[in-house]
Amino acid sequence: MSTNPPPTKTVTLNVARVDNGGNTGAGKYFYSFNDNIITIDEPDTEMTFELGADTASTIIVTGMVSSDSFSQLVNVRVNADGRSVSVTNKNTVEYLIQVAVLAYDEKTGESFICDPQVINIPRPPVAGGS
């Protein structure tokens, strides 16, 4: 009996230090995600938020927190190189989850957050399925 690997969703996060007008870190950093709305529709999806190639090597991911009160996000793991954070999304409840990717600039010593929204939309059970 073979088991299928879990579904995956990789989201790229690009971060740049700016003189002013940024959207995080007291206006000192600007960030964007390659997906404006992150929609998950499969159960047990492995979500990874990874820093883009254009993000300075001094910017690292230190963790992730969320508003998840239904225990949908479990097993948060920061990659050893600090360039990504992964989490398992159970996706059993239709739900909007605020996520905060925690970041740190090793050059300046400043911490900041990048906060995508994740929308869980579980697929209805298939008739006759298990």
Task: Identify the band that residue 36 occupies on the pLDDT scale cut at 50, 70 and 90.
Answer: confident
> Is the predicted pLDDT of residue 122 greater than 90, yes or no?
yes
Q: What is the mean pLDDT of residues 28-56?
A: 96
List helix spans (H) across 7-77.
Answer: none
pLDDT of 124: 81
Topology of the domain covering 8-120: Immunoglobulin-like (2.60.40)
pLDDT of 123: 87
- The model carries a pTM of 0.91
Burial of 88 per CB tally in 10 Å (0-12, 13-18, 19+): middle
> Is the predicted pLDDT of residue 86 greater than 80, yes or no?
yes
By DSSP bridging, strand 110-114 and strand 59-66 are unpaired
- Are 48 and 73 within 8 A, CB to CB? no
**36 or 34, which is more confident?**
34
- Mean pLDDT score of the chain, rounded to an integer? 94
> Is the predicted pLDDT of residue 82 greater than 90, yes or no?
yes
